[in-house]
């Protein structure tokens, strides 16, 4: 019995093993048939029906319930995929619709905000207060200039009033004004002077009204002449120097600038009797003056003369760095009116060029009208260009320098200044150094409980500030003819010797101190190159300044490495060349008279020359030169 059971168990195990092996074998995909997919379960079909009817929410809830019970329910993954696809499509459509609406709203907002206000670009024509400062004269004030002839002996005020009434003067007086008498004999005397004489002798005051003159007793508090207060609304703005307590560029508030102001002119040239006063209100731009009528007339004359708009001058400075002989090489030196040379042979130093006290050449040309020339001077200044050119020549020179690569424009600053005001242009950096030092014991080293100190100079006080770089000061002066501009020019180049060492001396280190104290306690040496000149140009013309030359000598060693450094034989295997590199800074200064709107003002006034021009024909006659007519290039047709 046991044997029979064992046989049957063996057969079952063998059958299971064969079935397992048969399932592990891979059938040929080309031969075997794909098994049919199981049909969706009923719950999935119900959810599919809800989805097809557009009840997506209920279909989603049904899928969630089916997945919770059996995630492997046939047909569930496909339904979930299609539901998610439909939801994404609906979401995309919703986003597109909202985006279109948002884009439309943003477009409308942009259009609304982009609409310029009604006042944009609108020019409103206004008329400022351009009325005269002269107060209108009343009938009696005008009568004060009438000439009166009067001959009276020992008469009182009443008789004088009767006599003046015959001349059409309306004069009245208080009762019992004065009991004094006087004698008058005058011919063609202005009424103003006659009343002053009568008032001082009879102790009366005359108040001039609209249609009459009123004589009253002179009070003890009354001055010799009655005072009157007038208000003047100034038409033009005042500069910092003219405003009391105002600040001028480069000066402290209230400091004296040496420039006359309107108030100063009134104070100096108009008598200021006792009780007179003057006040300027900068907020209302109003000048209040208290003085006599006669002095107020003089005050108004000064105000009318000084309350004017100052002329404005546009200054354009072009700094071009080039080599000294570039102009001659490029063939554009003729544009400056005379050839340019770098040599000094045959040139007489007639400009009194001197060496600067700070170790750099200094050119002083003040008071000289130099239109063209060169000025060699010892100390590195080997050439100078001075000239006045027009705009066409300026463009030609600049284009030639830049297109050839021989010139490099450093900067082209532009600024506007008013008449007789100095305009300053500075390009560089501020160099700070100390003039006072004191020795201090500074911690040097601490080792094995032993501390050593070292005496080092420590700066004391405030640092001195020195501007180093390129600087140009221009002072234009325009006359009433508006034809010429007088320019005072002062260009300057400055630097410090051994500048890198000075920079390293004050450069901070991690320890907080400078890393090089070799220059501490010493004063720097500054190199300055300046030109000071004064020229006269017309509006739009350019002044050319040169001669600010910097020279540097370079050494170039060439040869076989190591061997060329061996003494005695180094010359056989190497060479050394020295080269002097000279660079010239040319400054083109263009002065243009401009209007309040920035328009260039071109003068039409004819050019004038000093002296009397001699005709060319007269010169030829004096020199005995016969004038020959040029022969025509082509013979005239017969």
Alpha carbons within 13 A on the beta-carbon side of 577: 6
Average pLDDT, the chain: 73
Please give the class, per CATH, of domain 139-217. Answer: alpha beta
Among 3.40.50, 3.30.1380, 3.30.1370, 3.30.750, name the CATH number for the domain at 228-308: 3.30.1370
Helix/strand number for the chain, H first, E second: 14, 22
Give dist(CA 432, CA 510) in Å, integer.
21
Token pair in block for residue 186 = 């005058």
Report which of 323, 370, 314, 328 is spatially closest to residue 544, judged by C-alpha positions. Answer: 370
The percent of residues above 90 in pLDDT, for the chain, comes to 5
User: What is the per-residue pLDDT across 55-67, written as a single tens digit (0 to 9) for each?
Assistant: 878 888 888 888 8
Rg (CA), the chain: 50
Q: What are phi and psi of 238, to 5 degrees?
A: -105, 150
How far are the Cα atoms of 61, 83, 380, 413, 433 from residue 487, in angstroms, in the given order?
93, 88, 27, 17, 34
Give the rounded distance of the alpha carbon of 251 from its chain centre.
19
Confidence at 569, pLDDT banded by 50, 70, 90: low
Give dist(CA 82, CA 76) in Å, integer.
10
Token pair in block for residue 190 = 């202005």
Can you give the residue ranges of every domain in the chain? 43-72, 139-217, 228-308, 314-594
- Average pLDDT of the segment spanning 354-381: 36
Give dist(CA 328, CA 334) in Å, integer.
9
Give dist(CA 385, CA 337) in Å, integer.
10
User: What is the per-residue pLDDT across 5-52, written as a single tens digit (0 to 9) for each?
Assistant: 445 554 554 454 444 444 444 444 444 444 445 567 788 888 888 888
Give dist(CA 471, CA 362) in Å, integer.
15
The percent of residues above 70 in pLDDT, for the chain, comes to 66
Q: Where are the beta strands (DSSP E) in 225-276?
A: 228-233
- Stronger pLDDT, 101 or 232, i.e. the higher one: 232
Give dist(CA 303, CA 266) in Å, integer.
8
> Given the structure tokens 């299609």, which residue do they identify?
82
Q: Rounded to two decimals, what is the model's pTM?
A: 0.53
Q: Are the beta carbons of 347 and 374 closer than 8 angstroms?
A: yes
User: What is the per-residue pLDDT across 171-222, written as a single tens digit (0 to 9) for each?
Assistant: 888 777 777 888 888 888 888 888 888 888 888 888 787 888 888 877 665 5
Check residue 155 and give its pLDDT. 86
Check residue 136 and give its pLDDT. 74
């Amino acid at each position: 019995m046991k044997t029979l059971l064992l046989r049957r168990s063996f057969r079952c195990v063998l059958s299971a093993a064969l079935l397992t092996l048969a399932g592990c074998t891979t059938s040929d995909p080309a031969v075997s048939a794909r098994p049919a997919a199981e049909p969706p379960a009923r719950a999935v079909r119900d959810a599919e029906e809800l989805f097809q009817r557009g009840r997506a929410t209920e279909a989603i809830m049904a899928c969630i319930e089916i997945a919770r019970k059996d995630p492997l329910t046939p047909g569930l993954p496909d339904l979930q995929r299609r539901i998610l696809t439909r939801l994404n499509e609906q979401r995309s459509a919703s986003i597109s619709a909202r985006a279109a609406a948002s884009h439309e709203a943003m477009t409308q907002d942009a259009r609304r905000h982009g609409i310029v206000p009604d006042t944009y670009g609108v020019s409103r024509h206004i008329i400022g207060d351009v009325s005269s400062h002269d107060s209108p004269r009343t009938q009696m004030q005008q009568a004060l200039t009438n000439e009166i002839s009067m001959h009276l002996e020992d008469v009182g005020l009443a008789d004088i009033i009767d006599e003046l009434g015959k001349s059409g003067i309306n004069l009245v007086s208080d009762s019992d004004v004065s009991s004094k008498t006087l004698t008058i004999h005058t011919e063609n005397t202005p009424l103003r002077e006659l009343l002053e004489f009568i008032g001082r002798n009879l102790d009366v005051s005359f108040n001039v009204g609209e249609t009459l003159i009123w004589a009253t007793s002179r009070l003890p508090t009354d001055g010799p002449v009655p005072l009157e207060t007038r208000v003047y609304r100034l038409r033009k703005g005042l500069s910092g120097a003219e405003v009391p307590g105002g600040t001028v560029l480069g000066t402290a508030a209230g400091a004296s600038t040496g420039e006359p102001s309107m108030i100063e002119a009134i104070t100096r040239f108009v008598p200021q009797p006792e009780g007179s006063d003057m006040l300027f209100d900068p907020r209302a731009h109003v000048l209040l003056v208290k003085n006599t009528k006669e002095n107020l007339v003089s005050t108004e004359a000064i105000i009318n003369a000084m309350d004017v708009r100052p002329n404005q001058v546009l200054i354009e400075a072009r700094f071009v760095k080039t080599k000294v002989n570039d102009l001659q090489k490029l063939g554009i030196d003729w544009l400056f009116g005379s050839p340019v040379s770098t040599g000094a042979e045959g040139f007489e130093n007639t400009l009194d060029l001197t060496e600067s006290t700070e170790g750099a050449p200094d050119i002083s040309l003040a008071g000289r009208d130099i239109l063209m020339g060169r000025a060699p001077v010892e100390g590195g200044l080997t050439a100078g260009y001075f000239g006045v050119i027009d705009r066409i020549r300026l463009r030609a020179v600049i284009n030639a320098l830049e297109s050839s690569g021989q010139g490099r424009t450093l900067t082209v600053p532009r600024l506007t200044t008013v008449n007789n005001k100095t305009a300053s242009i500075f390009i560089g950096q501020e160099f700070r150094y100390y003039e006072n030092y004191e020795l201090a014991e500074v911690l040097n080293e601490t080792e094995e409980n032993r501390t050593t100190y070292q005496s080092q100079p420590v700066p004391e006080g405030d640092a001195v500030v020195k501007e180093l770089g390129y600087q140009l000061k221009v002072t234009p002066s325009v006359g009433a003819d508006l034809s010429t501009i007088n320019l005072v020019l002062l260009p300057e180049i400055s630097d410090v010797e051994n500048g890198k060492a000075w920079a390293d001396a004050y450069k901070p280190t991690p320890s907080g101190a400078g890393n090089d104290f070799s220059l501490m306690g010493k004063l720097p040496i500054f190199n300055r190159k300046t030109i000071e000149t004064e020229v006269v140009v017309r509006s739009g013309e350019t002044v050319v300044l040169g001669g600010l030359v910097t020279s540097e000598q370079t050494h170039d060693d060439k040869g076989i490495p190591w061997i060329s450094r061996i003494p005695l034989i180094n010359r056989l295997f190497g060479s050394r060349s020295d080269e002097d590199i000279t660079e010239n800074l040319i400054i083109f200064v263009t002065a243009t008279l401009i209007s309040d709107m920035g328009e260039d003002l071109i003068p039409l006034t004819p050019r004038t020359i000093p002296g009397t021009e001699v005709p060319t024909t007269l010169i030829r006659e004096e020199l005995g030169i016969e004038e020959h007519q040029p022969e025509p290039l082509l013979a005239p047709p017969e």
